[in-house]
Structures are given as C-alpha cells and as structure tokens.
Amino acid sequence: QPLAGGQNAELQSKVVPSKQILHSDNMEMEPETMETKSVTDYFSKLHMGSLVYSCTSKRK
Amino acid sequence: DRSFHVRYRMEASCLELALEGERLCKAGDCRAGVSFFEAAVQVGTEDLRTLSAIYSQLGNAYFYLQDYAKALEYHHHDLTLARTIGDLLGEAKASGNLGNTLKVLGNFEEAIVCCQRHLDISRELNDKVGEARALYNLGNVYHSKGKNVANAGTHDPGELPDDVKNALQKAAKYYEENLSIVTELGDRAAQGRAFGNLGNTHYLLGNFRSAVLAHEQRLLIAKEFGDRSAERRAYCNLGNAYIFLGEFETAAEYYRRTLQLARQLKDRAVEAQACYSLGNTYTLLQDYEKAIDYHLKHLVIAQELHDKIGEGRACWSLGNAYTALGNHDQAIHFAERHLEISREVGDRSGELTARLNLSDLQMVLGLSYSTNNSMMAESHAVENSLNGGRPRGRRYSMENMELMKLTPEKVPNWN
C-alpha cells in the first residue's frame, strides 16, 4: 500500500488536540456568596424581650 | 384572653419551627431544613421581619439544593416583603440573592438590575461589606454572561466577539473593585474568591499571564486557610493557563498536583478530569505512552461514574494516541467504541469525528474503499446533515482521493 506511509505521518499530525475544546470547559469557579438573614436577628427584641436577648448575648 | 393566647402560641411555634430549620441548614441538612421552614410558613406569623428571614433562608436552601425556580420564588417574596416594611438592608440582601439566582437561570439582564440594586443600597447605607459582596456578585453575573455567549461559538480563549469581551472586561473591573475593598477590610477569604474568579476572567480574555498572577494569589490564600478544595481549584486553573502559554511541562506539574489533591479529597469526578487534562497535556508534549496511561485512568473512572460523555472523549483521545504510536488495532478499537458511544448519547459531531477517524485508519491499513462503501455513504449523510447539505473539505470518491485533507485547518494555530 504505497499511500500508507504518507497517510500515517498525516494521521500523527492530527493527534494534537484543540486546546480550546479540551481545556476551556473545565475552568474551576469560586463559590457564590448568598446574603443571609436569621429569625434570631429580630425575635430577641420583638418577641422575647430584653431578658432573653441578654442571656443569648452572654452565651456567646 | 383566649385569642391572644392562641396567637401567642402560633407565633412561638412558627419561631420554633424556623429555628429548627436554621439549625438543620447550618448543619448541612438543607432538605430537612426546608421542611421546617415550610411548616413555619404554614403556621404563619404576624411579624413580617421574621417571615422575611424565613423566605430568605428558604430561598438559599433551595439554591443550595439547585432548585432554582423555588429559590427564585422565595427570594422574590422576600424582596416584596422587605420593600413593604421599608427594610432597606433586607431589600439589599434580597436583591443580591435574587440576582445570584437569576444569573444561574441565565437571565443576565435582570440579574444585573438586582445586583446593581444591592450595590446601590449598600453604598447608600455606607455598608462596605455589603458593597464588596455586591461587586463580587456583579462580577460573577458579567463573567457568566460572557462565558455563556462565548460558549455559543467555537473559539479559543482570547479570540472573542465584542459583546463577550465587553462583558468579561466588566467582570474584571467589578472583581478588581471588590478586591480593593476587601483588601482594605482585611478579608482574606473574600480576596481568595475574587482572585480565583478574576484569574478565570483573564483566562477567557486571553490574558494568560494575568490569569497566572491571580491564580497564584488564590493559591497562596488557599494555603493560608488550609483550604484544600480551593488549593486544588487553583492548581487546575494554573494548569489551564500554562497550556495556553505553551508551557506544557509546567501545566503537567500543576495537573499532577490537582490529581494528587483530588485523590486525597476522594473526589472521583475531579480525579477523572485531572487524568483527562494530564492525558491531553502529554499528547501536547508528544509523550503518547503517558497520555494513554492517563486517558485509560480517565476511562476507568468515567465508566465507574456512568459518565458516557466522558467515556466517549476518553475513547476518542485513546484512538488518537494509539494512532500516533502506530498501534492501529487499538486505535480502531477505541474509534469504534467512540462511534458507539456517540450514537448512544446522540452526539452527532462526535459520531462524524469517529467515522472520519475510522475511515482514515482503514485507509492506512490498506482496506479497500469498496468494502466500506456503506460506511462511507453513511458518513457522507451525517456530514451533509451537519453542514446543511453542503459537503465541505472531504471527498469520498476514489477519483478525488488526492483532495482529501486529513489535517484539520487549525493545526498551525495550535503551537
């Protein structure tokens, strides 16, 4: 098969992968940050009065 | 009196349920946390600030559970409520959370409006921490927007249409603004996040040296905190950037560290990705034995994780590497497997690639065209359907064989 040698060389040259296809899709992003609320931000003042509030503050 | 007593008991039980929801979410059990929050909503409360906090946490819990439609619904309730009661800080937080959710859903324009609102209120309240967080969120929205448009086309990082470039440049600007505030505040964790995403933005913009500088900073902070997941992310991103700088040995070193950490962290999916990247890097280094070794490792994990797309990629890469070594039997084996998997997952372009690889290999092996007529006709049909009926580049008849171009057009750009 006279073609084989030349074709073989050409086949080898196509082995080099496209960097775009292989690498750009596995970029590692940092996590998102969400804003947080808590019922304890409000309830101490509104529901339980200052006594509970001072207790929870002391525990910290 | 009696009605006061009932209302008091209901308030207390709503609060108790919500507190249990908070405890469960903090402990990482968002699924159970959601049930308690939803029960709290059922019982109800007359205190709109408590209700706002419950909606906000329900939104976040659904966000972490990746139920973004539900997250959107609850963050929207929270925003409405915060506005109703004139809670400006609460409105800023709800807007930020809504913006992040809209970003994930791909609604970038509305996401920008919400994140901008978060930023404006934070500035109005002179809340530096809130301002920095809003800037980070805005950077993330513009980054996603740019990446989303970029993914629609096929180009290397750095070769970008103007709208993509604009979005990415805005992302970089917001990350830098964020960095100057969090540096002032001495918030190292926030700096780490901003450096990581700034690095990825520079990478997409094709500023690979700047990407390396940012990821090196990210790596430093990850080590400071002993945060091995962040360290692994930095190694992987550094590897990617060095590939495009043409420094394949350095890239391989970073990917090896990624692999080492992925194994320590027992993350099989990341381990597979690291093996795949190493296989590709050794292909670029023309060390095909090592490339095959890593692609085989990737294949094994892809099969274990039932990742058909990964398995198909592994077979394609293995076919190419064996072709390079002149091991045509193995090359044909993997090209056939790639064809099978592409058919299974309905990947038309993968199917075409596999057919072309097989026909090239069969030609090298001296198989006559007449024995493969049916396969050729089929390939032709697939290619025509992919190219709107117009055959391009390749010819299949014997008399036009000299016109066949086996080398892809982009080879000169690769090195």
> DSSP secondary structure string, B16-46?
HHHHHHHHHHHTT-HHHHHHHHHHHHHH--S
Question: For the purposes of burial, counting CB atoms within 10 Å of the CB of B65, is it exposed (0-12), middle (13-18) or buried (19 or more)?
Answer: middle
Among residues B62, B27, B64, the alpha carbon closest in space to that of B41 is found at B62
Whether residue B2 contacts residue B10, with contact meaning beta carbons closer than 8 Å, is answered with: no
What is the model's pLDDT at position B409?
A: 33
Whether A41 and chain B come into contact, CB under 8 Å, resolves to: yes
Instruction: Determine whether the interchain pair A20/B324 forms a contact, defined as Cβ–Cβ distance below 8 Å.
Output: no
Residue B138 phi, psi (nearest 5): -65, -40
Q: Which residue has the higher pLDDT, A14 or B403?
A: A14
**Which pLDDT band, with edges at 50, 70 and 90, does A45 fall under?**
low
pLDDT in tens, B183-240: 999 999 999 999 999 999 999 999 999 999 999 999 999 999 999 999 999 999 999 9
Q: For the segment B373-386, what is each residue's pLDDT rounded down to a tens digit?
A: 445 445 555 544 55
3-state secondary structure of B265: coil
For B:182-241, CB contacts with A below 8 A are 192-194, 196-197, 200, 203-204, 218, 230, 232-234, 236-237, 240
DSSP B274-341: HHHHHHHHHHHTT-HHHHHHHHHHHHHHHHHTT-HHHHHHHHHHHHHHHHHHT-HHHHHHHHHHHHHH
**A39 with B414: Cβ contact below 8 A:** no
Residue A43 pLDDT grade (very low, low, confident, very high; cuts 50, 70, 90) = low
Contact B244 A26 (CB under 8 A): no
pLDDT digits (tens, 9 = 90+) for B27-41: 999 999 999 999 999
Name the band, by pLDDT with cuts 50, 70 and 90, for residue A51. Answer: very low
Determine the pLDDT at residue B31: 97
| Phi, psi angle pair for B161, to nearest 5° | -65, 160
The pLDDT value given to residue B364? 82
Q: Which residue has the higher pLDDT, B387 or B251?
A: B251
Confidence of residue A13 (pLDDT cuts 50, 70, 90): very low
- The pTM of the full predicted model, rounded to 2 decimals, is 0.81
Q: Residue A12 pLDDT > 60, yes or no?
A: no
Residue B399 has pLDDT above 80, yes or no: no
Q: Which residues of B touch A1 (CB under 8 A)?
A: 366
Evaluate if residue A22 carries a pLDDT over 50: no
pLDDT at A23: 45
- Mean pLDDT across chain B, nearest whole number? 88
Taking only the tens place, the pLDDT of each residue in B282-333 is 999 999 999 999 999 999 999 999 999 999 999 999 999 999 999 999 999 9
Among the ranges given (B45-49, B80-84, B148-152, B289-293), the one the predictor scored with the smallest mean pLDDT? B148-152
Top-confidence residue, B92 or B397: B92
Confidence label for A25 from pLDDT (cuts 50, 70 and 90): low
Which element (helix H / strand E) includes B181?
helix B162-185
Q: How confident is the model at residue B150 (pLDDT cuts 50, 70, 90)?
A: confident
DSSP state of A29: P
* Cβ distance of A36 and B326 shorter than 8 Å: no
Torsion angle of C-alpha atoms B321, B326, B327, B329, degrees rounded to 10:
110
DSSP string across B359-396: HHHHHHTT--GGGGHHHHHHHHHHHHHHTTT---S---
The minimum CA-CA distance between B403 and chain A, rounded to whole Å, is 13
Q: What is the pLDDT of residue A39?
A: 93
Nearest of B339, B15, B403 to residue A45 by alpha carbon: B15
Q: Please give the pLDDT value at position B367.
A: 62
Query: What are phi and psi for residue B410, nearest 5 degrees?
Result: -90, 5
Give pLDDT, residue B154.
59
CB B133 within 8 A of CB A33: yes
Flag whether pLDDT at A18 surpasses 80: no
For residue B112 the two structure tokens come to 């920008």
Q: What tokens were used for B42?
A: 């059922």
Between these two residues, B22 and A47, which has the higher pLDDT value? Answer: B22
- DSSP states of B45-113: -S-HHHHHHHHHHHHHHHHHTT-HHHHHHHHHHHHHHHHHTT-HHHHHHHHHHHHHHHHHTT-HHHHHH
Looking at chain B, the whole-number percentage of residues with pLDDT higher than 70 is 87
Residue B155: its pLDDT value, please?
A: 61
pLDDT at A10: 52
Using a CB–CB cutoff of 8 Å, tell me whether B389 touches chain A.
Answer: no
Q: Which two tokens stand for residue B185?
A: 């505040």
User: Is this complex's ipTM strictly greater than 0.90?
Assistant: no
Residue B385 Cα, gap to closest chain A Cα (Å)? 22
pLDDT band at A15, cuts 50/70/90?
A: very low
Find the helix or strand (DSSP H, E) in which B240 lies: helix B228-244
Name the residue with higher pLDDT: B346 or A22. B346
Closest CB to A15 among B136, B196, B324: B324
The arithmetic mean of pLDDT across residues B162-172, rounded, is: 95
Q: What is the pLDDT of residues B337-368, one digit of tens each?
A: 999 999 999 999 889 999 999 998 888 887 64
Q: Give the pLDDT confidence score for residue B366 in this predicted structure.
A: 75
| Model confidence band, residue B415 (pLDDT cutoffs 50, 70, 90) | very low
Q: What is residue B234's predicted lDDT score, i.e. its pLDDT?
A: 98
What does the pLDDT read at residue A11?
52
Q: Which of residues 322-341 of B touch A (CB under 8 A)?
A: 323-324, 326
pLDDT tens column, B52-71: 999 999 999 999 999 999 99
Amino acid found at B400: N
Q: Which residue has the higher pLDDT, B154 or B246?
A: B246
Q: Do B137 and B114 touch, CB atoms closer than 8 A?
A: no
